[in-house]
Amino acid sequence: MPVRALVWGENVHEHTNEIVRGVYPDGMHEAIATGLRGDPGILAETATLQEPEHGLTEARLAATDVLLWWGHAAHSQVADEVVERVANHVHQGMGLIVLHSGHFSKIFRRLMGTPCSLKWREAGERERLWVVNPNHPIVQGIGDRLDLPNEEMYGEPFAIPEPMETVFMSWFEGGEVFRSGATWQRGGGRIFYFRPGHETYPTYHNQQVRTVLRNAVKWAHNPAPRWKLVEEAPNVPVESAPEKLETKGPRLHHAGQAGYR
């Protein structure tokens, strides 16, 4: 059964900026999805900001194994309610791949718990992404590095929690460095951040970038059933304790009462 990937695109600059429209005439989300479709094991669909509920209804997320997120100019237009819904699905086990300027998206900041800030410069400079662990599933087929002739620069400090795995590190022509591929586990969900993808450059047409994204979708896919109770704090009644137990001391709650939240 193929992995069900959903590519979410902000879909703004493609309509307001000539350069971006020229590079991505069908939208960035379509270019990203097209790259994923190069793998018959991936079923890639798209959703955009402009759809009702941004195309991220409960039903849609429930049918998604891995969500990819590209946003930049309209982070603040994403409804908080949708952000919480996506976060809940990640906690339950849905994979999430956050792309480039998505570092400042509500969903990434929500899941990291940190500002996710960085330095930046838009000068079309060379970026070279070095592979840090050649055996990691995400870098298979890449070789030891990935060179991009023109990209926006992102520089450290990148205010993220220490990653579970550092997968790529970038060198920039102008002199900066960046952790450009990193993973985290949050609840049942695997998260991968991948740096490249400024909208004025044809990064998502690059074959190595497409290979990384296909690998990442497969890596982030958790085939286990969703962890439905990840938000719950169930009471274990005394009579259900694994060991025989008698209540001692004073209590705040009545038997069967829900806990505070």
Site for a second copy, residues 194 to 233, rule: CB under 8 A:
198-201, 222-224, 226-227, 229-233
Burial, 243: exposed, middle or buried (Cβ in 10 Å; 0-12, 13-18, 19+)? exposed
**Minimal distance in Å, beta carbon 103 to a second copy?**
9
The verdict on 59 binding a second copy (CB under 8 A) reads no
88 C-beta neighbours (distance < 10 Å), count: 17
Segment lying near a second copy (by CB under 8 A), choices 31-39, 44-52, 58-66, 184-192: 184-192
The verdict on 164 binding a second copy (CB under 8 A) reads yes
Interface size with a second copy, residues (CB under 8 A): 106
**Minimal distance in Å, beta carbon 224 to a second copy?**
5
In this complex, which beta carbon is closest to a second copy, that of residue 52 or of residue 258? Answer: 258
The DSSP 8-state label assigned to residue 253 in this structure reads S
Helix ranges, 25-152 (H): 28-36, 58-62, 80-92, 106-112
The verdict on 53 binding a second copy (CB under 8 A) reads no
Segment lying near a second copy (by CB under 8 A), choices 31-39, 48-56, 138-146, 205-213: 138-146
Segment lying near a second copy (by CB under 8 A), choices 29-37, 52-60, 62-70, 86-94: 86-94
Beta strands in 175-214 (DSSP E): 177-186, 189-194
Segment lying near a second copy (by CB under 8 A), choices 31-39, 43-51, 58-66, 168-176: 168-176
Q: Phi and psi of 238, rounded to 5°?
A: -55, -40
Beta strands in 10-61 (DSSP E): 42-48
The verdict on 111 binding a second copy (CB under 8 A) reads yes
Sort residue 31 into left (φ over 0), alpha (ψ -120 to 50) or beta.
alpha
Q: Are 113 and 101 spatial neighbours (Cβ–Cβ below 8 Å)?
A: no
